[in-house]
Structure 1
């Protein structure tokens, strides 16, 4: 219905508004008020986000119990709106969304078209680019206005995605281009302003260069006078064949210019005051253009010129030379920058010889008695003096009886500038400077819709109260803490009630609650005066590795080997330092989450450590659990040099690998002993600060984490594996080697007393019997878990219940693929080869174990000749070239070493060949009786 215009009796025109206009006004006002409220909520959330979000994470009952209140002046809705627009969206620039709502409301009220206008589009582009820029620059660090970071969740995630695909430089170029295009869109004159600013900066730069050029650099041919003025000097003469007296270059070794026979005539020379001469000579000394200085007998420079006649200087020929009379008996001619300069010669010399004065690379020393007359110069054939003229060709003055002029050359040692000497510490990460840690977006975010309802908590609380009251146990209060899989009910009994009485009612309480897997009573809870009853939730939540890795506690952890493994009952991420444990025992029944727990530990370390800082040794008798990690062999894995595969699947080779780790441990302990360090942290700190010499065998030592998936199968196949495991557990923690052992059979013949004594940290998944729980944890509790990642971890004497984080195979594949596509080392981290003795080889059941110890192998002589010819030998080369097994190749290498043909193994270095020609080797083989 259109509006109508009517005329009132007084002549005024009235406009009748239609329903459409009213609806437009209502919509515009609503948008305006909603935008103002949103802007206020976002603004107040900048100052109260931390307490508000901690309150929002609690249930309504918990808020009433602890009396927590929202600090945002816009209430709960304002706090949630601020968290949505700032934390989960665009960070600081999230406040532009309410501003755009206000502008749209004003446009609707003012009857403007509803098309998105220039201002709103400009704000939208600024919001997107601003969030991306802050997310790229700061990520989730230094945030004081929101929990995720300056750029919000959108800026952080999109910038991380851009870094992954186009790198940091590409992202920076993209952002710069986006800002420039946005500036052009906002203001069409933006390009002109950029050009004007560039021109102004270029002009100022040219002016600065000209000022420096005129005021700092002294032009050639000008010397500053005493009053600061610039005095022109005669130009440097160029050598010509017609005038041999002119020097070729001022930088050539100076020689005494011979006095040519010329007729007596009035000299024509340039008149120079004494001050100008002294200033000119000072300038020459600074620039090292003229190394000779004329000295008086008392060692002082001659600073005065006594002219006989002063005539204006006339150019001769092409105005490059100055005519000077050299026949004056009382003067001396020296070479200056502008040509020949006549100086006054004194009529006598003192008896004491003058001290040598050196202003350049040559020093002139006067040797002899008192001469009554100055030394005469003899006229010789003029020689053109150049920089390449040898000393024999230069004309020398005739020696006189009264004294000899000796020229001494003194070379000064060249020094390096103090600032040019490198003082920075050694950085092992520069070996792979372009390595990027995997982004968190490679993990899945498992969001569970099912949560513990208030009705379920109230129902369980009522049943616990009724059961205890029925057995005569009054309760003062109950507090519920909801976790991902179980809920902890903390009760405080009345005075005089024994704890043992409540513990005896465990089965009765489980019956009344109708729990699936029973309940677990903690009496009392350590550090609290309450009794805990853990009740499984009806709907279990999934703890994703995505949320665990993104947690603030894990990202800000200062641990050497930080590991986040899951969430506690308090719904907090559990982070521990593997370097302080120092070894970990993982046990549980089949299918209860051990392999997932191991993958969670490995994934945590891959997300926090650089390949130069951490190496894994993976032993997988089941052959399928760790096969995915073979792609990161050149980044994170360690193996013996003689091995072809980094993932050890043969139990027999696992014994050799563990013994090789014992050799590595001994080598590291020896290096720490030489360096005077007690542990790996002190040693690496000394090495990176360049206080240890690599020529003495010192090197940067990464952490080594040994992961054994099925220890029970390993110890059944090779019983001698317990010895190297025990040695590593006892001594290896100080030098950065840590063990993680997992087994699905927690019996006393697998987890022996030696193992338990050296593994104080233990993880227990669900087991079927209480005796297995006592074997793992030395206490019951693991038999009351509900499975599917529910576990108990014993650390520092405390027992904590945790829901393990879920990381699936496809997530591990994405992580290892991302790492394997980056630049890596040329090979895996080399462990020293371990060669077993013959006795050990017989116990391991090798095919050549029956050979006598003193009998050399049939391939011994052939391999020895090949080693001398090629100049190198290793166990893996013997395996590949002669198609023999690992044990036989190791025995042949040991025989070569005992025969003195090859040297001893020194870590990862190749063995030394002690024979360098075949005749001497043949003599040695005949001596040994091997042909």
Structure 2
């Protein structure tokens, strides 16, 4: 039963709490009976859901490893252990953890130090899968222990669309978190939404090739900002520097800057210039009140927080020779003035993202790209070249450790 509970934890703590409350009401004066009823009902739910997932066939560990006549996680573990024995050498203990959004997740502990990344391609070859179909990561705090996640066939992926996204926003509203600018940056492999405070970013760079899911990811980030950030305290500027309907859904939002989406690159460059001037005005206002941050300015005199979104950045840089200078100025100083940047491009090269600009964009998000060099430009490290598409991305929030997430299809 404990294994089933762990396997089904993605169904949510709220559901478990509801079960417990019903059991308490059923036997209000008998603590032991409450606990027994709770465990019985939970076990029945877990078994029912477990059968439902097993009935999906290709969603099992065995199918995800392309094994023939194999139907159990134990058999999948044996297949992986055989591959590890042939490549790394004997000594690894393997346990299945859970079936994730797109990956089946296993835990491997070796009896010695092993640089598993060194053997990545060999292990994939033994399993009969592509190099980008397996993800590995060392588990900190546990000696010689790794996560190994194996990509399942696409028709077995769990889908997260508009309904699931709205549920994630409701979960945030019901939580105790109080971010200044709440933004949903995706969901983890267990299907749990991941939120960050855009004000701590404080500036974000997003890169991904055509078809990687970049615009969809930005749309979900914007949707969460429009939904969750205080409308009377926040203004969002959206510049999409080419003709497209990708962001038309936001045109009626009350806190959209000037009530429109800017689609002309030359106008976007002029807007950046005006916001650079606005930043200087805000610094003078902060000096007037002796404030180090715009949040310290009294409420009656405090201007709104501003998020400036530029997509597609390369078009803007091509059109305006002054745009990069404005962006660098804003990236260097705008945080204290309550102004934040979200810059996105499908051309993550040195021309579009100069060293001066990259150095002042501490939060990086990389979707699928074709070249290792592009991953290094976005993230400062390899990895994005091995992503699948469909919205999978790596996030380094404010120069933190890269986190692997999936995107909502909204």
Q: Please indicate, yes or no, whether the TM-score normalized by the shorter chain is above 0.5.
A: yes
Q: Which has the higher strand share?
A: 2
The aligned residue for residue 8 of structure 2 is none
CA deviations 1:367-394 (Å, max 9, x no partner) are xxxxxxxxxxxxxxxxxxxxxxxxxxxx
Q: 1:489 aligns with which of 76, 86, 106?
A: 106
Q: Is the 8 A contact 1:561 1:577 kept in 2?
A: yes
Mapped partners of 1:41, 1:800: distance in 2:
33
The aligned residue for residue 584 of structure 1 is 204
Deviation at 1:619, TM superposition (A): 0.9
**Alignment of structure 1 residues 608-627 onto 2, 5 Å:** 608-624=228-244, 625-627=246-248
Secondary structure of the corresponding residue to residue 139 of structure 2: coil
Deviation at 1:723, TM superposition (A): 0.4
Deviation at 1:610, TM superposition (A): 3.1
Mapped partners of 1:527, 1:728: distance in 2:
39
> Is 1:506 aligned to residue 120 of structure 2?
yes
Secondary structure of the corresponding residue to residue 74 of structure 1: helix
Q: Is the 8 A contact 1:41 1:73 kept in 2?
A: no
Deviation at 1:73, TM superposition (A): 1.1
Distance 1:752 1:41, change over 3 A: closer
The aligned residue for residue 195 of structure 2 is 575
> Is 1:78 aligned to residue 69 of structure 2?
no
Structure 1 gap ranges (5+): 1-39, 49-69, 84-448, 640-644, 689-698, 808-931
Mapped partners of 1:81, 1:581: distance in 2:
43
The aligned residue for residue 682 of structure 1 is 296
The aligned residue for residue 292 of structure 1 is none
Q: 1:631 aligns with which of 252, 266, 275?
A: 252
Deviation at 1:481, TM superposition (A): 3.8
TM-score (norm 1): 0.37
> Is 1:733 aligned to residue 335 of structure 2?
yes
The aligned residue for residue 159 of structure 2 is 542
Mapped partners of 1:799, 1:41: distance in 2:
37
Mapped partners of 1:553, 1:532: distance in 2:
32
Deviation at 1:600, TM superposition (A): 0.6
Deviation at 1:800, TM superposition (A): 0.7
Deviation at 1:556, TM superposition (A): 3.2
More RCO (CA 8 Å, sep 6+): 2
Secondary structure of the corresponding residue to residue 147 of structure 2: strand
> Is 1:560 aligned to residue 180 of structure 2?
yes
Q: 2:23 aligns with which of 44, 52, 63?
A: 44
Distance 1:720 1:47, change over 3 A: farther
Q: Is the 8 A contact 2:262 2:268 kept in 1?
A: yes
Distance 1:578 1:622, change over 3 A: same
**Alignment of structure 1 residues 193-232 onto 2, 5 Å:** none
Q: 2:409 aligns with which of 778, 793, 806?
A: 806
The aligned residue for residue 306 of structure 2 is 704
Mapped partners of 2:184, 2:174: distance in 1:
6
Mapped partners of 1:739, 1:593: distance in 2:
20
Distance 1:652 1:533, change over 3 A: same
Q: Is the 8 A contact 2:235 2:256 kept in 1?
A: yes
The aligned residue for residue 215 of structure 2 is 595
- Say what the alpha-carbon RMSD is for the aligned residues: 2.8
Deviation at 1:724, TM superposition (A): 0.5
Q: Is the 8 A contact 1:460 1:513 kept in 2?
A: no
Mapped partners of 1:611, 1:709: distance in 2:
23
CA deviations 1:80-103 (Å, max 9, x no partner) are 7899xxxxxxxxxxxxxxxxxxxx
CA deviations 1:894-915 (Å, max 9, x no partner) are xxxxxxxxxxxxxxxxxxxxxx
> Is 1:469 aligned to residue 72 of structure 2?
no
Mapped partners of 2:285, 2:251: distance in 1:
30
Mapped partners of 2:117, 2:290: distance in 1:
54
The aligned residue for residue 810 of structure 1 is none
Mapped partners of 2:360, 2:405: distance in 1:
23
Mapped partners of 2:22, 2:137: distance in 1:
47
Deviation at 1:776, TM superposition (A): 1.1
Mapped partners of 1:614, 1:717: distance in 2:
29
The aligned residue for residue 533 of structure 1 is 148
Q: Is the 8 A contact 1:481 1:489 kept in 2?
A: yes
Q: Which has the larger radius of gyration?
A: 1
Count residues with an aligned counterpart: 360
TM-score (norm 2): 0.80
Q: Is the 8 A contact 2:307 2:340 kept in 1?
A: yes
The aligned residue for residue 657 of structure 1 is 271
